[in-house]
């Protein structure tokens, strides 16, 4: 993509009135536009990141035999009345309160599953979607970490026995850890025991990513690294008995629950006279983008991990002429997603945009580098650059 053709533009100053780092950086760099408190447009740059996150999620969930569907966000009131969750603060009610906008989807998936899962051989089953959710959040001040409209990946599983749910729950836990790892967050994300909520016997489990921007406080066991949400009563680590914990702020990037039979009872979903047992699992997709920005940034801008960066390479042209255009085409042909900065701007302005947008690799091609048949390559977040011969560039990039 030529920088001159990118729809959004970077701003020189921070947006006014924003307190959170993710909102400041994402707005300044042209990734999101704010329509209202907690309501954002994902501009082309951020949609590329979101699509990459979604691709990672789909590949890991498909691997554990989950199947993707897409349910309506517009939900009839009657479904929610069956579970007593119509009159909750999260629910946006519309059309004379005949409909609500889905803030989670147990009320839709349970009667749906009942239609198609009719006998023992249809179990176990796991279904997921990537969908826009609506929640009337009172505190929508954390940029895309807490939207009133946001993208969630929610999954629901159906089982005939507790043991079967336990086995699947473990698989989801591993899949989630893999997803956060592939998003570059492995070293920051902790499997965390949390309150089970009104209908869960034991704990629920959260995936918490360390950052000062986090609204949650977790205690990390100094011995085995299991984390506990502050809201959970504890004296000792329930896993290893250790009594020493480290207190940290974190963002909840995912949450998994054993639902038991709460929803199958409400919708009378039974097989052989026994209520079906359910699990539910959720990842905040747009919150993950905000989290990545909170974790990976410096005074110059965002530093995207390469797996989720909107583009792989930022190619800065400084009077390289024909040769620059050739290199741009060659890199794209090799499969790299490249921003080719062809704009009539100073080199300094181009460098600062490359840093602000956070593209993992910057390549400069100029009259000077071309004298040596080379380009200058620098990784975002590193100071030193390397001169690489043009004919060796793709080999060099493979190792980056």
Binding site for ligand ATP (CB under 6 A): 104, 135, 137, 146-147, 150, 152, 252-255, 282, 284, 286-287
Q: To the nearest whole angstrom, how small is the minimum distance from the Cβ of residue 162 to ligand ATP? A: 22
- Residue 249: burial class (beta carbons within 10 Å; 0-12, 13-18, 19+): middle
Establish how many alpha carbons lie within 13 A of residue 243's alpha carbon, considering only the half-sphere containing its beta carbon.
Answer: 1
Nearer to ligand ATP, 147 or 360 (CB): 147
Query: What is the smallest separation between the CB atom of 257 and Mg ion, expressed in angstroms?
Result: 8
* Closest distance to ligand ATP from the beta carbon of 391 (Å): 46
Closest to ligand ATP by CB, 252 vs 355, is: 252
Instruction: Choose between 93 and 343: whose C-beta lies nearer to ligand ATP.
Output: 93
* Distant-in-sequence, close-in-space partners of 71: CB < 8 Å, separation ≥ 6: 102, 105, 108, 109, 112, 129, 131
Q: Which of ligand ATP, Mg ion, none has residue 150 at its interface (CB below 5 to 8 Å by kind)?
A: ligand ATP
Could you give the CA distance from residue 158 to residue 162 in angstroms, rounded to a whole number?
10
Work out how close the CB of 253 gets to ligand ATP at its nearest, in angstroms, rounded to a whole number.
5
How distant, in Å, are the alpha carbons of 157, 162, 228, 269, 344 from that of 314? 42, 51, 41, 54, 16
Q: Which stretch binds Mg ion (CB under 5 A): 98-106, 250-258, 344-352, 365-373?
A: 250-258
> In whole angstroms, how close is the CB of 240 to ligand ATP at the nearest point?
26
Q: Which is nearer to ligand ATP, 103 or 296 (CB)?
A: 103
- As a whole number of angstroms, the distance between CA 207 and CA 282 comes to 10
Beta carbon nearer to ligand ATP, 150 or 269: 150
Q: Taking CB positions, which residue lies at the least distance from ligand ATP?
A: 284
φ, ψ for residue 165, nearest 5 deg: -60, -45
Stretch that binds Mg ion, among 4-12, 251-259, 370-378, 380-388 (CB under 5 A): 251-259
CB of 282 to Mg ion, least distance (A): 7
Q: Does 374 bind Mg ion (CB under 5 A)?
A: no
What's the start-to-end Cα distance of the chain, in Å? 21
Cα four-point dihedral sign 102, 277, 61, 232: positive
Q: Is 110 or 255 the residue whose CB approaches ligand ATP more closely?
A: 255
Query: Which of Mg ion, ligand ATP, none is residue 147 near (CB under 5 to 8 Å by kind)?
Result: ligand ATP
Are the beta carbons of 157 and 165 closer than 8 angstroms? yes
Length of the chain: 400
Q: What are phi and psi of 266, to 5 degrees?
A: -60, -35
Segment near Mg ion (CB under 5 A); pick from 222-230, 248-256, 344-352, 381-389: 248-256
Distance CA(87)–CA(92), nearest Å, equals: 10
Q: φ and ψ at 116, to 5 degrees?
A: -110, -20
Closer of 150 and 314 to ligand ATP (Cβ)? 150
Helical ranges in the chain per DSSP H: 21-28, 44-63, 77-81, 106-116, 162-182, 262-266, 285-295, 322-333, 347-357, 367-370, 393-398
Per-residue contact flags (x/-) with Mg ion for residues 252 to 281, judged by CB under 5 A: ---x--------------------------
Number of residues forming the site for Mg ion (CB under 5 A): 1
Q: Which is nearer to ligand ATP, 201 or 384 (CB)?
A: 201
Interacting partner of 152 out of ligand ATP, Mg ion, none (Cβ under 5 to 8 A depending on kind)? ligand ATP
Q: Min. distance of Cβ 234 from ligand ATP in angstroms?
A: 19
Chain contacts with Mg ion (rule: CB under 5 A): 255
């Amino acid at each position: 993509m030529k920088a001159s053709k990118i729809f959004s533009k970077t701003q020189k100053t921070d947006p006014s009135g924003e307190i959170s780092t993710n909102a400041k950086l994402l707005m300044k760099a042209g990734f999101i536009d704010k329509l209202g408190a907690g309501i954002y447009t994902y501009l082309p740059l951020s949609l590329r990141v979101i699509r990459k996150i979604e691709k990672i999620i789909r590949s890991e969930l498909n691997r554990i035999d989950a199947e993707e569907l897409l349910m309506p966000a517009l939900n009839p009131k009657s479904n929610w009345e069956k579970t007593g969750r119509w009159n909750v603060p999260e629910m946006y009610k519309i059309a004379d309160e005949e409909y609500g906008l889905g803030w989670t989807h147990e009320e839709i998936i349970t009667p749906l599953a009942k239609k198609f899962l009719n006998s023992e051989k249809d179990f176990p089953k796991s279904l997921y979607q990537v969908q826009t959710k609506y929640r009337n959040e009172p505190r929508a001040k954390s940029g895309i970490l807490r939207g009133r409209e946001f993208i969630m990946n929610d999954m629901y599983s159906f089982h005939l026995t507790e043991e079967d749910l336990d086995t699947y729950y473990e698989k989801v836990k591993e899949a989630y850890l893999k997803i956060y790892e592939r998003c570059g967050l492995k070293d920051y994300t902790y499997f965390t025991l949390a309150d089970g909520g009104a209908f869960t016997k034991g704990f629920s489990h959260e995936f918490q990513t360390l950052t000062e921007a986090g609204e949650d406080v977790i205690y990390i066991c100094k011995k085995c690294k299991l984390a506990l949400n502050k809201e959970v009563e504890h004296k000792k680590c329930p896993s290893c008995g250790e009594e020493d914990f480290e207190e940290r702020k974190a963002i909840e990037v995912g949450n998994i629950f054993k639902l038991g039979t709460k929803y199958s009872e409400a919708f009378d979903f039974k097989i052989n006279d026994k209520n079906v047992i359910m699990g539910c699992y959720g990842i905040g997709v747009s919150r993950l983008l905000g989290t990545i920005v909170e974790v990976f940034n410096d005074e110059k801008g965002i530093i995207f991990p390469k797996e989720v960066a909107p583009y792989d390479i930022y190619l800065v042209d400084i009077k390289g002429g024909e040769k620059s255009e050739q290199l741009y085409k060659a890199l794209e042909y090799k499969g790299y997603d490249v921003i080719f900065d062809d704009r009539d701007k100073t080199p300094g302005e181009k460098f600062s945009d490359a840093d602000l947008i956070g593209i993992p690799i910057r390549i400069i091609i100029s009259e000077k580098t071309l004298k040596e048949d080379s380009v200058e390559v620098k990784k975002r977040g590193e100071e030193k650059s390397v001169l690489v011969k043009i004919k060796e560039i793709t080999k060099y990039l493979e190792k980056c």
